[in-house]
């Protein structure tokens, strides 16, 4: 037992040092963001140039705007309208709608593009049917016919402001600047705690990380959207590659290895829609985590071996590309810590050590983040601080999802680019659950539930082992797993019979855009196209409702019933675990407490009063150590020893107090009690992993997996009816 505990302790400390090194990098970037001289100098120069040239018209280059889309019927119209309203000369603006959709989004986009083309816009609708290379493949295909010397890219959920190009394009004065990345805004930041957590996470990324790296020798990454590339930079870096899930990170690293500079604009903000569904947010996080590891496997060795790069550039590149390794390390640490406590391993030599450790954790974590939040947002820092609390829960709980992504990148090959669903949800209270693209929860949710239950057990272990000082940290981490797991299940929405009024309103909204409406008044063909699109949307809305309504209803409610069943079975397992602890483990812990009190007894009578209840709490027979069991952990033998101690204590009580024989006999009993107490403490961890508990856990997990498998088949049938 001591050898296992020592190994786990060394592993725990090693992980702590590795995670600390990643944490310290945040302090480094925070300092750099506040003291990025090159970035601030550039901003001052830009302001001066803009003031001096205000009276004369600037030379505007030709720009190609690429809009990679895939099944985005709720936001595609919003994006295209916003792009077409950008204040820029039409003769110098090309718009490529790179559409890989396979649903009614295709007809919707086609009608809109035709309408804008009739108004004189240089806009094309490029529809692919094979999706080769996914987003990277679409961008690569668009580059073949792109006319602009600069390429602006927007994802479907973004809404560029009308002054975007005029504010951003003049930042390419330096011919070595290959990329200008703009800051993301959030149109639905206050929709829920989930969107608030994502918002503060992205804000810290842009205003600390990206600002720290802007125009420096530290590699900065393109965020995939709301940015402008120099076309010659893309070509020089080798173009878009389709070998990873994060083509943006891949290209930006290859460009900077070629000597190109990247600039971040914190004063140009492009609003975007944050994922409102937990399963959608997890999918996005999965793609980012897996993609980063893929780029690390692809480019990290080249970065390290390139002689021209400074050592701190290489260190920063290593940390950025491997940062998601923190997630499996955190989970490992989360699993190990309760084991060390249960094994009663001596974690510290002095009593104040845990207090100091927790203070260091707080100072190097939340306090530093709150300081930076206060520094960045000034008077508005309190609302952002609340968002940071939600971010702690989100970051903790999503570590399971991202751990799976890391191992998927390390152990498997290339995978499908799974888009993040968008529903056009902006205001608090708007419903998305009955819309298309909503995702069910995955098997990862079962792991999140496991870690949530494990965290609850860890809290009890900490309390009953006398390590209550660690409870707050464990509770915060456990809440994170509960938060993610709960929302993953609650946000698993299933389509019902469509709302006719809702569909009609959506069609009316699409056809009432001012620019498009004006064109349709003059073009009967555009009107017919829009009517065709409307009919397509209605047909698609009804596609999920089978003619055999009873059968569809049966599938739907059967799916929901199984969902309730799996939640009930999880609750049953938690109840059984609590009952098992109360009936098998807690009595032994209580007996150990009585024996501890017996060791401090000053008279044989008091000693017996503690030994008797301790004996009654122990099982009459059996040995919890099922692997390599020894007599010292046999409950029957321990009870016999306690009977013998009671007999000896009664004999000593007849002796004269304070005599040598009296004191010697009493001390001998105390030493024997201490040995038995140690034996029981060694046996306690095996009570958690008893043969019965293992069998019950296997059955419990198997039943959940079986129910989940049935649900998955039900989901497949549901999808078949949707497509019928």
548 catalytically annotated: no
The CA distance from 349 to 443, in Å, is 42
Q: How far apart are CA 290 and CA 408, in angstroms?
A: 7
Alpha-carbon span 422 to 276, nearest angstrom: 8
Which residues pair with residue 159 across a beta bridge?
271
User: 3-class SS at 593?
Assistant: helix
Place of tokens 């995670």: 19
3-state secondary structure 640-674: HHHHHHHHHHHHHHCCCCCCHHHHHHHHHHHHHHH
The rounded distance, in Å, linking the Cα atoms of 39 and 50 is 16
Task: Give the residue from 400, 181, 191, 159 showing the smallest Cα distance to 275.
Answer: 191
Q: Token match 């005029």: residue?
A: 166
Q: Which of 99, 100, 589, 641 is catalytic?
A: 100
Residue corresponding to tokens 């140009």: 268
Task: Measure the CA–CA gap between 157 and 272, rounded to whole angstroms.
Answer: 5
Three-state DSSP class for 227? strand
Give the number of C-alpha atoms closer than 13 A to the C-alpha of residue 36, restricted to the C-beta side: 26
Residue count of the chain: 724
Query: Is 637 in a helix, a strand, or coil?
Result: helix
How many of the other CB atoms lie within 10 Å of CB of 474?
A: 24
Burial of 10 from C-beta contacts in 10 A (0-12 / 13-18 / 19+): exposed
Strand pairing of 150-153 and 122-127? unpaired
Q: Of 25, 33, 388, give the one whose Cα is nearest residue 208.
A: 33
Widest distance between CA atoms in the chain: 117
- Using an 8 Å Cβ cutoff, are 223 and 181 in contact? yes
User: CA-CA distances (angstroms) from residue 505 to 11, 502, 537?
Assistant: 59, 5, 11
3-state SS assignment for residue 264: strand
* Token pair 């891949």: residue: 250
Catalytic residue, candidates 104, 157, 248, 641: 248
What is the DSSP secondary-structure string of 349-396? SSTTHHHHHHHHHHIIIIIHHHHHHHHHHGGGHHHHHHHHHHHHHHHH
b (16+ CB within 10 A) / e for 226-253 = bbbbbbebbeebeebbbebbbbbbbbbb
CA distance 257 to 569: 54
Contacts of 50 (CB under 8 A, 6+ apart): 170
d(CA 69, CA 225): 12
Contact 107/533 with Cβ under 8 angstroms? yes
**By C-alpha distance, which of 175, 196, 168, 172 is closest to 267?**
168
Q: Is 153 helix (H, G, I), strand (E, B) or coil?
A: strand
- C-beta of residue 179 within 8 angstroms of C-beta of residue 156: no
Residue 138: both structure tokens together: 């679409």
Is 121:105 a contact under the CB 8 Å cutoff?
no
Question: Is 248 marked active-site?
Answer: yes
Catalytic positions, written as ranges: 100, 248
């Amino acid at each position: 037992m001591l050898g296992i505990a020592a190994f786990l302790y060394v592993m725990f400390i090693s992980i702590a040092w590795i995670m600390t090194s990643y944490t310290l990098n945040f302090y480094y970037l925070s300092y750099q963001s506040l003291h990025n001289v090159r970035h601030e100098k550039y901003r001052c120069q830009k302001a001066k140039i803009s003031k001096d040239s205000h009276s004369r018209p600037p030379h505007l280059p030709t720009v190609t705007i690429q809009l990679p889309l895939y099944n985005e019927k709720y936001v595609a119209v919003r994006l295209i309208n916003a792009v077409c309203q950008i204040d820029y000369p039409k003769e110098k603006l090309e718009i490529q709608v790179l559409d890989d959709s396979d649903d009614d989004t295709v007809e919707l986009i086609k009608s809109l593009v035709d309408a804008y083309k009739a108004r004189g816009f240089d806009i094309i609708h490029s529809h692919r049917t094979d999706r080769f290379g996914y987003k990277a493949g679409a961008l690569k295909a668009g580059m073949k016919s792109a006319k602009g010397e600069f390429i602006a890219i927007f994802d479907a959920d973004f809404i560029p402001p009308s002054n975007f190009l005029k504010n951003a394009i003049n930042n390419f004065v330096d011919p070595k600047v290959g990329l200008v990345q703009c800051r993301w805004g959030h149109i639905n930041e206050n929709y829920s705690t989930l969107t608030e957590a994502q918002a503060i996470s992205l804000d810290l990324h842009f205003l600390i990380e990206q600002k720290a790296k802007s125009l420096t020798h530290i590699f900065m990454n393109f965020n995939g959207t709301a940015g402008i590339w120099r076309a010659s930079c893309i070509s020089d870096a080798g173009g878009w590659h389709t070998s990873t899930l994060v083509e943006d990170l891949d290209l930006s690293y290859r460009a900077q290895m070629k000597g190109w500079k990247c600039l971040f604009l914190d004063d140009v903000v492009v609003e975007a829609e944050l994922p409102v569904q937990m399963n959608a947010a997890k999918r996005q996080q999965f793609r980012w985590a897996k993609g980063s590891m893929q780029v690390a496997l692809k480019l990290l060795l080249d970065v390290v071996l390139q002689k021209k790069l400074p050592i701190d550039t290489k260190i920063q590149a290593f940390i950025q590309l491997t940062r998601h390794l923190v997630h499996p390390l955190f989970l490992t640490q989360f699993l190990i810590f309760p084991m060390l406590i249960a094994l009663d391993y001596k974690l510290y030599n002095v009593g104040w050590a845990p207090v100091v450790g927790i203070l260091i954790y707080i100072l190097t974590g939340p306090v530093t983040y709150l300081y930076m939040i206060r520094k960045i947002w000034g008077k508005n820092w309190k609302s952002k601080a609340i968002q940071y609390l939600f971010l702690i829960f989100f970051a903790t709980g999503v570590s399971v999802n991202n751990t799976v992504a890391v191992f998927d990148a390390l152990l498997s090959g290339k995978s499908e680019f799974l888009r993040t669903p968008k529903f056009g949800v902006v205001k608090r209270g708007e419903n998305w659950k009955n819309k298309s693209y909503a995702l069910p929860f995955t098997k990862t949710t079962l792991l999140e539930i496991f870690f949530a239950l494990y965290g609850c057990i860890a809290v009890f272990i900490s309390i009953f082992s006398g390590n209550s000082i660690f409870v707050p940290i464990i509770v915060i981490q456990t809440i994170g797993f509960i938060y993610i797991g709960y929302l993953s299940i609650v946000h698993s929405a299933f389509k019902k019979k469509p709302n006719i009024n809702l569909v009609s309103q959506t069609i009316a909204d699409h056809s009432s855009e001012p620019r498009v409406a004006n064109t349709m008044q003059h073009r009967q063909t555009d009107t017919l196209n829009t009517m065709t699109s409307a009919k397509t949307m209605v047909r698609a809305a009804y596609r999920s409702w089978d003619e055999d309504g009873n059968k569809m209803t049966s599938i739907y409610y059967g799916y929901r019933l199984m969902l309730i069943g799996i939640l009930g079975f999880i609750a049953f397992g938690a109840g059984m675990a609590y009952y098992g602890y109360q009936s098998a483990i807690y009595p032994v812990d209580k007996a150990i407490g009585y024996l501890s009190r017996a060791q401090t007894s000053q008279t044989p009578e008091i000693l017996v009063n503690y030994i008797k209840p301790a004996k009654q709490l122990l099982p009459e027979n059996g040995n919890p150590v099922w692997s390599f069991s020894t007599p010292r952990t046999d409950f029957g033998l321990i009870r016999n020893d306690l009977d013998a101690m009671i007999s000896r204590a009664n004999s000593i009580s007849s002796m004269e107090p304070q005599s040598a024989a009296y004191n010697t006999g009493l001390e001998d009993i105390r030493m024997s009690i201490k040995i038995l107490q140690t034996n029981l403490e060694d046996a306690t961890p095996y009570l958690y992993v008893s043969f019965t508990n293992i069998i019950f856990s296997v059955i419990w997990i198997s039943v959940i997996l079986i129910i989940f498998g049935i649900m998955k088949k039900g989901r497949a049938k549901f999808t078949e009816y949707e497509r019928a």
